[in-house]
Structure 1
């Protein structure tokens, strides 16, 4: 039974308390995940790290997030978001402390690799918010959760250097990063003791099996397998970046070992996927239990373009502004931050529009705007006035981040008991997009980079032709074998 209290953003009770605590948990997870980037110059100087080692740490920071989002999605569906988020925040404080205390590149590298897991925290709150809010408010609530939580990366960039300076000395960065770990550990307990997985009287529906995503037809099983391949290819691409052909931080033998390991994990994953879904070969799934996996595939493609491009553009925009308009790096960084600041309003805005005008029409409109926005950014040259360039960037970012909000307004409406896993896979595709676009950026001109993102948005627009607007109810079976209808309209 959904909470039917009024949606009041300034309330801190009932479902609003759950939403606020959840975006705070997401915010903290992103502060921890991105705590090293704004301090990397000081860290490198303190420990004598080379440019190659710094680049390696930044790559390792995202390497584990792709599989982690899938895994955390499964765990969330099985054990509930309350327990999952609390344990994730507590456990990931440990590699945060490990990084703060590290004295060698090897220690830092292991800590950064493990910290990639906290980037999966986003997935947990998607399921939590979907349990507490009705369909006509879900897009807005998920948008606030995603937009305000996502701002944690920007908050880390602004506050952690100041904290490091406050503590002073060459070890100031250690205190700054250690404090983020302490914040994560403390909030794990706050979250656990102040939320519940569902409103009183509601049923928390769980997947029948854990280990891989359930699908409901043979065609969907094939599509699921196809959609897994880009995630593994992206992990292989990260391995290539560490190879002698990339930044030359690992020997070719070590990289080949990574490739072999990925191949083994892929085979295990495919076998597990078959085991979870082998009942499909025994006969059709009852009509009331079916869902269309094409819905998930389309949302994956859209998040690849939206969140993937956001992560990539945020990484390159300061230097782009500095070079194009001959600005100092500090001034360029401040102007580029307008792209990330839009998250606070744009992502909730995308969810709100989706609640009012429907999931598919909103996604069509925002994806078209995204394509046009990046085409516009590709036209920016030094001949443009700086204010006009900033307006173009902010306009593009509105469509990018509103699109993210609209994607996750649709995710919880596909299959309730699988929401965590679906959110995990869609979220992972955002990271796949980021790695892909940043790789493209390293190979082509900035103008071509923006054109490639625009082309991916056009592909997303085409894929939307296959999306079906959620209607009516989701059918779920409770622990007693009773069929329950959950409204999604």
Structure 2
């Protein structure tokens, strides 16, 4: 598979990587802007909600941000990542302006849905940066690009503090300023090589590849846990241990930072060691961690220790899985990224809703945590049967 732009200078490639990563960071700040300020946003809108309604509102941005990764990844392949990024960021200004100005639960859900488009930045960014580097560097490069996920940590850490100083409107004005700034910066960035023959029909051919769906399933576990825990940790820390919103946001930020920063490590290791072998041990440890978390859910010391361990494990898993994405279908990196990324995003959509429903019905999150372990076992069995014991290979 040849996706390297021949003749491009190192500085041009590195600038594209930096811009793709930073633009993703800003979009991820937008994507997870509700969770750190959810109580303030609900109060500002003048609505009271049940545990399930609250969980649904928090999960809603993840829905559109997941599903739309597929067409946005295809669009990036066909027209170029730079143009697609600019169009996305112009669109995001609309829901960012709306959030502090809506005053009903229904409109909050609708606006949160629009806000979810920011999550498609992952498919755009991956398609964009891969065009500037050769295959042997894909693991590390995609790991670095994935550092854009750290935007979720910035939201969790800064927004609860900023809202006390510059109020709710001020926080979202800051986001608009960042979007405008990066739209301008992207105008000076190089455009990625495009695939003019790419079409919806041609790109969706990657859905015929079994590897696409298996990687999507594995990413559903790792990235789904990354998004779910980043999104829910504030709720956990407040509800289980009576932490303040600011302290709870700090834990959510810590989880996001660790999970993001170790992602390039997973990619780098996958350049050196067979990715599927690494992933097997990662899944085993995730399963063990989930079981321990369920047992000691209300013991703060053990809870926070396991959360840190899970951040490392899901971050490594994300990097390992995306090492393999560019090798599934030549010329359709954006489409494969869209599919795999969509499943990962949906992995962050359903758990908050399921956990909220379980909490409302049983008064505890424990059953939901054990379900994560069960899903991890399913992924491990498929990985072992098809890629470890079997002869199937994506990357040698």
Map of 1:252-331 to 2, 5 A cutoff? 293-321=209-237, 330-331=246-247
**C-alpha contact 1:100 1:175 (8 A) present in aligned 2:** no
Separation in 1, partners of 2:60, 2:237: 26
Which has the larger share of helix?
2
- The reply on whether 1:470 has 2:394 as its aligned counterpart is yes
Separation in 2, partners of 1:104, 1:155: 27
What does the per-residue CA deviation read over 1:158-211, in whole Å, with 9 as the maximum and x for residues that have no partner? 2233333333xxxx211211221232133123113212204xxxxx43554324
> How far is the alpha carbon of 1:78 from its aligned partner?
1.6
2:309 alignment partner in structure 1 = 395
1:210 alignment partner in structure 2 = 200
> How far is the alpha carbon of 1:128 from its aligned partner?
1.4
Moved more, 41-50 or 101-110: 101-110
1:183 pairs, out of 178, 201, 204, with 178
Change (3 A) 1:50 1:211: farther
2:189 alignment partner in structure 1 = 194
2:273 alignment partner in structure 1 = 357
Separation in 2, partners of 1:332, 1:66: 26
Change (3 A) 1:293 1:376: same
Looking at CA atoms only, which structure, 1 or 2, has the larger radius of gyration?
A: 1
Separation in 2, partners of 1:91, 1:193: 20
Change (3 A) 1:214 1:318: closer
Secondary structure of the corresponding residue to residue 417 of structure 1: coil
2:68 alignment partner in structure 1 = 68
Name which structure has the greater RCO, CA cutoff 8 Å, separation 6+.
Answer: 2
1:451 pairs, out of 337, 348, 370, with 370
Separation in 2, partners of 1:22, 1:62: 20
**C-alpha contact 1:27 1:151 (8 A) present in aligned 2:** yes
Separation in 1, partners of 2:242, 2:113: 35
Change (3 A) 1:347 1:456: same
> How far is the alpha carbon of 1:416 from its aligned partner?
3.0
**C-alpha contact 2:139 2:271 (8 A) present in aligned 1:** yes
Change (3 A) 1:12 1:112: farther
Separation in 1, partners of 2:353, 2:45: 28
Moved more, 300-309 or 439-448: 439-448
1:220 alignment partner in structure 2 = none
2:338 alignment partner in structure 1 = 424
Map of 1:127-166 to 2, 5 A cutoff? 127-146=127-146, 148-166=147-165
- The reply on whether 1:58 has 2:53 as its aligned counterpart is no
Change (3 A) 1:214 1:61: closer
**C-alpha contact 2:82 2:186 (8 A) present in aligned 1:** yes
Change (3 A) 1:106 1:186: farther
Q: How many residues align?
A: 381
Separation in 2, partners of 1:385, 1:121: 35
1:33 alignment partner in structure 2 = 31
What does the per-residue CA deviation read over 1:37-95, in whole Å, with 9 as the maximum and x for residues that have no partner? 32332233333222257666434423322321122122112212111111111122122
Separation in 2, partners of 1:83, 1:414: 25
Separation in 2, partners of 1:357, 1:33: 33
- Structure 2 residues not aligned, in runs of 5+: none
**TM-score (normalised: structure 2):** 0.85
Separation in 2, partners of 1:396, 1:112: 27
Separation in 1, partners of 2:283, 2:62: 26
1:415 pairs, out of 329, 342, 350, with 329
What is the root-mean-square deviation of aligned Cα atoms in Å? 2.9
> How far is the alpha carbon of 1:3 from its aligned partner?
6.7
Secondary structure of the corresponding residue to residue 331 of structure 2: helix
**TM-score (normalised: structure 1):** 0.70
**C-alpha contact 1:32 1:181 (8 A) present in aligned 2:** no
Change (3 A) 1:372 1:54: closer
> How far is the alpha carbon of 1:332 from its aligned partner?
4.6
Secondary structure of the corresponding residue to residue 196 of structure 1: coil
- Structure 1 residues not aligned, in runs of 5+: 6-10, 199-203, 217-223, 225-291, 472-488
